[in-house]
Chains A and B, each alone.
Chain A
Amino acid sequence: MENLDTIIQILDSTIRLATPLLFACLAGLFSERAGVFDIGLEGKMLAAAFMAASVAAVTGNVWLGMFAGIGISLILALIHGLASITFRGDQLISGVAINFLAAGLTVVVGQSWFRLGGRTPALSGEGRFGQIDLPFADALRDVPLLGPIYSDLLSGHTFLAYIALLAVPASWFVLYRTRFGLRLRAVGENPGAVDTAGISVVKLRFSAVIICGVLCGLAGAYLSTGHGAGFGKDMTAGRGFIALAALIFAKWRPWQALGTCMLFGLLQAVAIRYQSINLGEFTVPVQFMDALPYILTVVILAGFVGKAIPPKAGGEAYVKER
């Protein structure tokens, strides 16, 4: 029984850790499916985490915090859009710039506002997202096996964690069953086809970038007001890049994104629970567990786990042919 408890605790922690990855991964999915590469997911998350925690700390209202987080993430997303769509700049370089902009501004502004060395005040009560207990969670806890799974694993997450899970089927539906999704996928494959069909490439790509901004905002808000209780310097710690890796692993598809994010969440959960793992003679150091998602990503990128083919027009600004 103790084993089951441990497993459930690790899986529960997996969901918590996978939530920001999932938001960011879907954010990247919309952007990249529309042909705009975005390595600035990290920066948008970081800025959003900061703003969400700051506003929640000042107003005591986590919802206002969330919207502030989305707001700042949107602004950065629009800068990325301006650079890569309007001015046809290099999308990678723009993403790098946005990551640094967020890394610098969150500390400079945070220090100026709160004088806590870049942190925001600790959040409590209405300043954080509370846990939502699913119906009958308490009553069903004692049912063998399924009880703990329902009550301890599936129940008791924050509002945003459930939103993230719902965002997966929603994204699938939007991409594959709607006019907007058809056009969005088309503009990432051949913007010329979209343009000659009389649809604005610029507007479509900006809508994708905006969706990306909103989802990154949710990812950041979750980190500082749902998962944590306040913002700390560089608190995203590379999650934006792991989400990017998950996106590649998922081959730019929503359901696969869910699976990959859960896998990476599991890795992090195991790393946190077991600082170092004893395998008889040999001890796996904690640093190895920390590095494992990155190593795994490289292995994935190396194509040892199947070839990932990105959207054909990804990374390139659209220029009308003469």
Chain B
Amino acid sequence: MESNEYIQFFDGGIEPTLEALGGKGSSLVTMTSAGMPVPPGFVVTTAAFDEFMSAAGITREIHDLLEGLDPEDVAEMEKVSAGIRADICSKPVPEGLRAQTLAAYEALMARFEEPVPVAVRSSATAEDLPDASFAGQQDTYLWLEGAKAVTDHIRQCWASLFTARAIIYRLKNGIPNEGLSMAVVVQKMVNSKVSGVAMTLDPANGDRSKITIDSSYGVGEMVVSGQVTPDNIVLDKVTLTVVSEHLGDKHAELVPDRSAHTLVEREVDEERRGRRSLTDEELAAVASMAKRAEKHYKCPQDIEWALDADLPDGENLLLLQSRPETVHSSKPAAPKASTGGYAASLGIPASGGSAASGDAASGTTAAATGFSLGSITASLLKTTA
């Protein structure tokens, strides 16, 4: 199905705008097109919300209800909010819009062998929601199955624009209720068979020429919380060559239980524990994705990733989160190379140093090419070439 005015798939190839997709939605589209595969899904755009509101004909009425409300009167506020939200949820969705939404959901389900659960999340535009903590107040619904559950919860997201907290926030910040809108994200629930974290540096020494990956079976929580010892692999960032790898014990895994809508812990058998949880191809894919995330955000990243059991091999790697690495990235990008240190340690007078320093005794620095004899000497004397 093609993206259109009301529906925009993450991988639909349309330039995302904050106005149409909201903050979360536009970020998901941007990440997908930058080669960072987030769990697949689509955004129900702000145009869909506008179309619904205009057909429902309740915009004027809502404005009137909100007019003159006292932000300190919490009980009244809750009552008005509940009324508006019930009104929104009871109004029919225009047939065209409804058909588009159902088609989008079917198209998403068609990517899998059988229907999979989805999450529905609100995605407000930046003017209405200036900070992340507030975004957290928006509604998120997990484990939804079937078209009805999905469309019902899209409407609940729309309604969440008028929770008491949202109304108070706008009142206190002088944000007008005119022109309010809301996009909604419909996204596949991740079904991790293998997951972990990756850093675009070596946390042991801050070396930015490495990518460090921790990987284990199931959902990543056990890796993040340290309940299992994951496989640890260090790769060269430029060539993606494995520099070192240590197999972890990976004794247990958390896997989703669809019927219970929860995660269950189970033992990992000997055979799976004994081998690396990622194949060579999967390892290269995780590293490449981490590298793309770093390039996209222009600073070292700490990402969470998963291989989704519902997606075919080669297309199943998902990026769950990418955030700046803060421990090492405040330091210089690379350690300064020592020059002449080895010679000095052998009791030899330092004869070179940096290319600029020169050396009277042997006239060592060659300005023409900028090389440093002191460092060349040090290289030869270094005992672990």
A and B interact: no
